[in-house]
Amino acid sequence: MNAAQVIDEIFATFREKGHRSYGENVTELEHALQSATFAQRQGEPPELVAASLLHDYGHLLHDLGEQIADHGVDARHEHIGANRLNRWFGEGVTAPIRLHADSKRYLCWKEKGYFDGLSEASRKSLALQGGPMNDAEAAQFEKGPHNLAAVRVRRHDDQGKIPGMVTPTLEDFRPILEALVKAS
């Protein structure tokens, strides 16, 4: 597959399933576009704009329903998405995706008040993902090579939940994504 075909496949998944909600007041597609828009506005490098756009791609790949956290299920969407995207993108994109749920756990440990700012849906998924990190988990997380990038993606994730926000389209992000597709 060439880069255009890879992005066509990813965008087709967003078009097919991006209308779904995941417990927030925005759809999966709106959330992805908002997260990427915030990353771009804050001057993030292309890898982090892409990771912000694609961080919840794993939600679109499972068929467990839109409200799985309400049923006590953690689909481990961060791993599902990163594993699929890993065949097309390098670690600069996929590692922050894989770590963005752990970043939420880390920030709950690191920053007083972070938990209080989480949406109800994020709090439910946090409980399923293991809750706030303990000291040992946080120390291990801080040693990781992609931890800072993952925290930045998490912050864009937290921002991208605004009903009715106007954003660029998926196609507006195509050049960034195509430039990052690994040569096959």
**DSSP annotation string for 39-76:** HHHTT--HHHHHHHHHTTHHHHH--S-TTGGGGT----
What pLDDT, on the 0 to 100 scale, is given for residue 72? 45
| Range(s) of the domain holding residue 72 | 3-100+147-180
Distance CA 184, CA 103 (A): 31
Of residues 139 and 62, more confidence is placed in: 139
Q: Is residue 75 in a domain?
A: yes
| Within a domain: 134 | no
pLDDT of residue 104: 93
Domain assignment present for residue 43? The answer is: yes
Distance CA 115, CA 179 (A): 36
Is 121 a domain residue? no
**Which residue has 């009715």 as its token pair?**
164
CATH of the domain at 71: 1.10.3210.10
Q: 50 lies in a domain? A: yes
Number of domains in the chain: 1
3-state secondary structure of 3: helix
Per-residue pLDDT at 121 = 78
| 72 in a structural domain | yes
Say what percent of the chain tops pLDDT 90: 72
What whole-number distance in Å separates Cα of residue 166 and Cα of residue 37? 10
Q: Which residues contact 148 (CB under 8 A, 6 or more apart)?
A: none
Comparison of pLDDT for 162 and 21, the residue scoring more = 162
For the cut 70, the answer to whether the pLDDT of residue 37 exceeds it is: yes
47 within domain boundaries: yes
Q: Are 106 and 133 in contact (CB under 8 A)?
A: yes
Q: At what angle do helices 91-110 and 120-128 cross, to 10 degrees?
A: 100
Buried b (16+ CB within 10 A) or exposed e, 43-73: ebebbbbbbbbbbbbbbbeeeeeeebbeeee
Residues 6+ apart with CB under 8 A from 111: none
Which backbone phi and psi does 89 adopt, to 5 degrees?
Answer: -125, 155
Q: Which of 25-29, 68-72, 115-119, 138-142 holds the top average pLDDT?
A: 138-142
Q: Which two tokens stand for residue 173?
A: 């992000």
142, 151, 166, 184 from 58: Cα distances, Å? 24, 18, 24, 22
14 domain residue, yes or no: yes
